[in-house]
Amino acid sequence: MNKKTLRDGLGATSRLRNSFAGFTRNNWESGYLVRYPAENERNTMEVPNSKTGVSIRAYQGDAMTLLAFDLDESQTKNFAGFSIRITAGTRKPYYLTNLLTYSAAILKKNNIEPEKAHSTFFSPIQKFRWVHVPATFHQIEEPFYGNYKYEVTPRYMVNEILQPLDHSFTVPVTIDAAPYKLGDFQIGFTRGFVESQAYTNHFGNNNKVRPNKTDLIFDIKAKSGSAKRKENGQDVMEDYTFEDQHIWLGWQARARIMEFLDETLADNTLALDVFAFDLDEPVVCKKLIQLAKEGRLRVVIDNSKTHADPDAFENKFEALFNQERKAPSAIFRGRFQSLAHSKVFIQKTKATNEAVKVLTGSTNFSTNGFYINANHVVIVSNKDVATLYAQVFDASFSADKMKNFHSTGFAMPEGHQFNQSNAPEMTIRFSPHTKDAATKFFTTISDRINHVKTDVLFAIMKDDSESSILKAIKAVRDDREDIFSYGITDTTKIITLYKPHTKRGVRVAGKGGAHVLPPPFNKEAPIPGIAIHHKFVVVDFRGQEPVVYCGSSNLAFNPEQKNGDNLIEIRDPDAVTVFAIEAIRLVDHFAFRDRTQNPKQVNLHANEEVPWHASYYDPDDLHFLERTLLIGERKT
């Protein structure tokens, strides 16, 4: 390796930044300062580029980017992987981090210092795609949202010597990496990565996100723990707060929820209606109580056996609400036939009771929902959509209304259709339904999945319930080798991992995998609760009629007849892309932990008889299907 190439690599390698002292916040609750791009500043959701046999396609997600790579097969001799250089706006460039490196012997042979080896300049990515999430390892203190330039270069190794980076093969793409907002529609995801190397690097093995199990509201600025940091090359212990954990783990979903509440609080002409299942996130509870004090809050909270304990946080919230509230603030505890399972905010004008916007999704308003679970929220700033949710709220605000909800027009099987200029085309369904209604629309959705053309990607908390929808997902995974199937559930007895020389789909679990990983990985904190709480299915992300089903419904047939839920069908390629990237992010993360772990050191591949990339060019392999699907144009 020549001196210039070595120097370039060292200069671009960013030190992992671990101090939290410099967080930039728009207020103490919301987290990172966010600037949404104007509509005329926003790049397309998908940016391809290619030259000299190298191709890239970048996809925009919710503050993340999916990068798909390709390399002409004629150029794969001695191919070692891809180096990825990132420039965030006008900030200093850095090379993406790879937690896998070459063996110590190869690093020594190449004069690569071990502490520098995790740069993809020295340890190329040995995959044909990557999901980049800002503020995972780099720029932790002040994440940048805006245009990211990705420069991808294929690398080669000959006789265990990594060849100099050849810029003539470098292909750049620039795409917006920012919180997803288009028109009147937003999506936000939690990070959901307590069990991860990134979390361990920042917070050690502390998986507690609240100080105790008794205090509903607590000081999030209080010390949560200490973690080892590098200062001037020396290990030092540095304190961090619950707020530091919450901002990092809650990620975009937390920020969107806090923005929604802050906007409502700041304008005394607005009021809020809330459906809550779990309710114990301290800042959310504090803000809701403030609205109750001002006579601007109505809330429905589940009172099923899940929350029957007298010391349950939901009961503590109810007591505090009744102590502090000012009319016309009101609370109702109920559970339909089984659960009041929705997680919804409805913003309304106080004077006219006109609905303005709505927030919904899978995210419970709890510390587990924000900081332990993988979850999503969607926000629609559309009066027609918000009005529908407001009407459903009014139709649920008593025991008798909950009992009879399934027979109202709100629970019709065809759902409520919306197709307006500044929001995605969507259908919204509310439960509980009658058995006949549930049967009709479950058949409609399962038929759509059974007739998939390109791909099915999913993240579902429980995918073994009785359900024609869940059966259709399983059938595609097991029987349709022409379809790219890739998904995750929370727990399962049957893991379907990638198997070479077959195109059978992948299904992994968020719980039950290893948290004691082989070297060079650090031991990770176990997940203290549900890992995958999402309930979404993507169909034909790369097809002509992409759709995602999301919301609070568990997609299970019997609960759909008993629980208060909302299921949103979104037929919009941009929104579907955002959910598809989230599914890929989660499966990639947990698949490694689901494998039978080899206790020996895990390193990058080098000089094997069958090269690591062979599967990506095997037409009978899932990797081939993945590579061609993601790098190519949308299928007709």
Predicted local distance difference test score (pLDDT) of residue 18: 35
pLDDT at position 55 over 80 = yes
Q: 534, 444, 436, 538: which is closest to 489 by C-alpha?
A: 534
Q: Which residue has the tokens 């993988």?
A: 374
Tens digits of per-residue pLDDT, 551-564?
999 999 999 999 99
235 falls in which pLDDT band (50, 70, 90)? confident
pLDDT at position 538 over 70 = yes
8 falls in which pLDDT band (50, 70, 90)? very low
Predicted local distance difference test score (pLDDT) of residue 495: 83
Tens digits of per-residue pLDDT, 20-33?
333 333 333 344 44
pLDDT at position 493 over 80 = no
Give the phi and the psi of residue 341 in degrees, each rounded to 5. -100, -5
Q: Which residue has the tokens 């009629």?
A: 545
Residue 600: other Cβ atoms inside 10 A: 8
Predicted local distance difference test score (pLDDT) of residue 494: 79
Cα angle 98, 612, 491; round to 5: 65
Predicted local distance difference test score (pLDDT) of residue 285: 98
Please give the average per-residue pLDDT across 281-305, as a whole number: 98
Query: pTM (2 decimals)?
Result: 0.93
Domains of the chain: 3-178 (2.60.40.10), 245-594 (3.30.870.10)
**CA 347 to chain CA mean position, Å:** 25
Lowest mean pLDDT: which of 19-28, 124-133, 388-397? 19-28
Tens digits of per-residue pLDDT, 354-380?
999 999 999 999 999 999 999 999 999
Tens digits of per-residue pLDDT, 544-554?
999 999 999 99
Q: 622, 613, 631, 624: which is closest to 127 by C-alpha?
A: 613
Q: 622, 491, 634, 514: which is closest to 574 by C-alpha?
A: 634
pLDDT at position 4 over 50 = no
